[in-house]
Structure formats: C-alpha cells, structure tokens
Chains A and B, each alone.
Chain A
Amino acid sequence: GQQLNQSPQSMFIQEGEDVSMNCTSSSIFNTWLWYKQDPGEGPVLLIALYKAGELTSNGRLTAQFGITRKDSFLNISASIPSDVGIYFCAGRRNTPLVFGKGTRLSVIA
C-alpha cells in the first residue's frame, strides 16, 4: 500500500529560526495536505496543494508540491513558541488520505 515517509521525526529549534520538514511517497499523489496538531486536539489544516510544482504560502508557512508528485515540503519561517506541535503531511490519490508519522516541533524561547 501507499506509504509516506516524513522527516525529521522531531526537531528542537531556537525561537526565530526557520524550520523545514518534508514527506516522500512511494507512489504519486494528486493532493498534498499539511496539518498541525496540538496535544489533545484534532489536526488543523495549514496548507492544501493540488498541482505538481505548486508553491503556496500561509503567513509564515510555505509548502510545495514536488514536481515528481511524490514529495512535498513545509517551511516555517521565524519560528515562535506557538509553532510547537506535531506537523503531519497527508497525501491522496483516489484513496482516503494517507498520513505521515508526523514531525514533533519544539521551540526554545
């Protein structure tokens, strides 16, 4: 079945630093989604990507849909303490969403 490899698994960064995380797939996706989950809460949609090569921003967040359609990355610029949480990538092609295992982000003030 489809699998998503998300990296890094966890990150510890200083406040103000930029962050980058990515997901790669063993197969092609038509959609890439990035979510953030806070403890005890449901995932919140950050960015949705629908076309290969698409680069989309949402405030300090930028995500890209890889040209090969098998990967995507999420960048966070100038991190702040409230960026702490778990970030999940998710992809889809004619099936229910497949999720990565998440990147746990910790921001040190």
Chain B
Amino acid sequence: GAVVSQHPSRVICKSGTSVKIECRSLDFQATTMFWYRQFPKQSLMLMATSNEGSKATYEQGVEKDKFLINHASLTLSTLTVTSAHPEDSSFYICSAPTSLSTDTQYFGPGTRLTVL
C-alpha cells in the first residue's frame, strides 16, 4: 500500500513552546491530507483537512490559531501546535488518500506529543 511518514515519532516539550509535526506522502502525491488526534483507548478524532495551496478546513471545536496547518507541497503537510499546554498531550496522526481513490486513506505512524 501507499506509504505515509511522520516526523518526529515522539516529542517532549515544555509548556508554552511550539511543536511542528511533519506528514509526508512518500510514493504518491496528496492534494489533501487529514490530521487526527487520538487519546488513550479512544478512537481517532478528525481535527482538520489540509489542502494543498489553500487554507485548511478545521472541524468544529478545533482552534485554528492553536493548531496551524500548512500544506506546502503535494507531498508535505505540517501541523504546528502553538503555545502547547499539558492538555495538548496526545497522539497525532495524519493520513492521505492516494490519487487512485480518494476514499482509501493511508495513515502515518503517528507522533506522540508530551507537554510538560
């Protein structure tokens, strides 16, 4: 299947700092990527849809000024958690549909964010 990578896989930061997470599609181009958040033993919660060349679409209740999304190219989307606080600690996962079928999404390995 298609490959999506994320970097870093794990990050620990101090409260008040900003953290950038990268999501890359390695063997296909993705005009759209999705960012999810997952709390322990919970399902995936869609945060936003990242669109190449235009603004991201945020789900209800997700602060766009806190979770900055930039889809710089057809293979890269970044999520920046600004002024992180302990409650932002979570598992962040991106996904991208392949060009063959927009319904089939492949997920990255996730990024574990811990805010102290």
Contacts and interface: CB of A to CB of B under 8 A. Distances in A.
Given A88-B44, A99-B44, A102-B43, A43 B104 contact: no
Interface residues of B, number: 22
B106 interface: yes
Nearest to B1: A45
Contacts of A45: 1, 104-107
A33 interface: yes
Contact of A42 (B1, B49, B110): B110
A101 B39 CA distance: 12
Contacts of B105: 33, 45, 90, 97
A38 B108 CA distance: 13
B61 to A, nearest CB: 12
B109 A41 contact: yes
Interface of B: 1, 4, 6, 34, 42-44, 46, 49, 91, 93, 95, 101, 103-110, 112
